[in-house]
Amino acid sequence: MLYDSLKKNTPDFHLYIFAFDSLTYEVLGKSKLSNATIIPLKAFENKALLDIKQSRSKSEYYWTCTSSVISYVLDNFDVHSCTYIDADLYFFGSPQILLDEIPENKTVLITEHRYSRFAQIFEEKRAGRFCVQFITFFNTPESRSILKKWAGQCIDWCFNRYENGKFGDQKYLDSWPLEYPEVHILHNPGGGVAPWNAMQYDFIFKEDKVVGYDNRSKEGFEVIFFHFHFVRIMAEGIADLGWNRLSKKVIYGFYIPYINEMITKERYLESTFPEYKRIYNSFGHEGVRETLKLIFKSIFKYNLIKLREI
């Protein structure tokens, strides 16, 4: 879906996809994506990553690898820059608009969470000011130096908890604007609309394009990508949209089309590749605590969508 949204909105791109298991590598390889290179796990895992792999959960290991996969692309392919993008982004416009914002004297691009007021109270201290969702490094000594230090920090500590000013791979970014003059913070609010900031905007949906308006300044902007953080399709036929408060316009404008496309893509993959099987979470799968949360959501009809209703 990420690939398809990119191809729809920009003709000139190449996606380097890192497959973290053999099935993903096999399915993506057979898909013959014209604007992508599929890289198997064994190709980029180095000794430093392998040494700490067993000490991290699956998601923590993915976070640990972020800086390393960027380094791998810059080391092994003829590119002047590399932009890491999360797999749960969906593009409504060309990301070139965001990259064109980088000044000539800057070689790293980072994006803010831009929390809504309520989300900021609970999230900013823990998760940080910046989000590792769309981050660019140039193939220059200054940029590579920052990337190398970040990779080392993630090898040393990268866990799904807040501890001593650290959280995963992204709290490290908090100090970058003060520490490195090469870093540019993205100004365009269209790069990074997400559940933690969507409530501060109003949206107008125009076919494949989306225009956002800041509720306070009333300034408009084109939504370049939406970050569909935490969307889960449950085995019980329910889509869980997480905990951030979402308006009906956001749910019906962004989430329902995305989930419909996700289900269509899943069915296509399952019918095309016999080895591919859909695996969904279930209410009791993640323990009592998560089950109680889902029961709470069900009672109050909070951020849960019955799939038969869409």
Residue 219 lies in a domain: no
Residue 143: exposure state from Cβ atoms within 10 A (0-12, 13-18, ≥19): buried
Paired tokens of 190: 């269209």
Considering the domain architecture, whether residues 183 and 69 belong to the same structural domain is answered as yes
Considering the domain architecture, whether residues 173 and 247 belong to the same structural domain is answered as no
Considering the domain architecture, whether residues 262 and 165 belong to the same structural domain is answered as no
Considering the domain architecture, whether residues 49 and 103 belong to the same structural domain is answered as yes
- The residue with tokens 């100090």 is 175
What pLDDT was estimated at residue 298?
Answer: 83
What pLDDT was estimated at residue 156?
Answer: 98
Residue 70 lies in a domain: yes
Largest CA distance in the chain: 55
Question: What pTM does this model have?
Answer: 0.95
Helix (H, G, I), strand (E, B) or coil at 225: strand
**Which among 187, 214, 248 is the end of a domain?**
187
pLDDT tens column, 269-284: 999 999 998 877 776 6
Considering the domain architecture, whether residues 285 and 161 belong to the same structural domain is answered as no
d(CA 60, CA 44): 17
Strand locations in the chain (E): 15-19, 36-40, 81-85, 89-91, 108-112, 130-138, 162-163, 166-167, 183-185, 191-193, 201-206, 209-214, 220-222, 225-227, 232-234, 238-240, 304-306
Residue 225 lies in a domain: no
Considering the domain architecture, whether residues 153 and 245 belong to the same structural domain is answered as no
Owning domain of residue 106: 2-187
* Number of structural domains the chain divides into: 2
Residue 221, phi then psi, degrees to nearest 5? -160, 155
What pLDDT was estimated at residue 11?
Answer: 85
Considering the domain architecture, whether residues 183 and 237 belong to the same structural domain is answered as no
**Low-confidence residues of the chain: pLDDT under 50:** none
Residue 109 lies in a domain: yes
Q: Judge whether 81 and 95 are in contact, CB under 8 Å.
A: no
Considering the domain architecture, whether residues 161 and 70 belong to the same structural domain is answered as yes
Considering the domain architecture, whether residues 132 and 241 belong to the same structural domain is answered as no
What pLDDT was estimated at residue 286?
Answer: 64
**Which among 166, 187, 208 is the end of a domain?**
187
CATH number of the domain residue 80 falls in: 3.90.550.10
What pLDDT was estimated at residue 309?
Answer: 67
Considering the domain architecture, whether residues 10 and 155 belong to the same structural domain is answered as yes
- Selection from 176, 184, 179, 180 nearest residue 101 by Cα: 184
d(CA 40, CA 24): 9
Considering the domain architecture, whether residues 146 and 252 belong to the same structural domain is answered as no
What pLDDT was estimated at residue 280?
Answer: 79
Q: Judge whether 62 and 122 are in contact, CB under 8 Å.
A: no
What pLDDT was estimated at residue 288?
Answer: 76
Considering the domain architecture, whether residues 53 and 128 belong to the same structural domain is answered as yes
Residue 250 lies in a domain: yes
pLDDT tens column, 136-193: 999 999 999 999 999 999 999 999 999 999 999 999 999 999 999 999 999 999 999 9
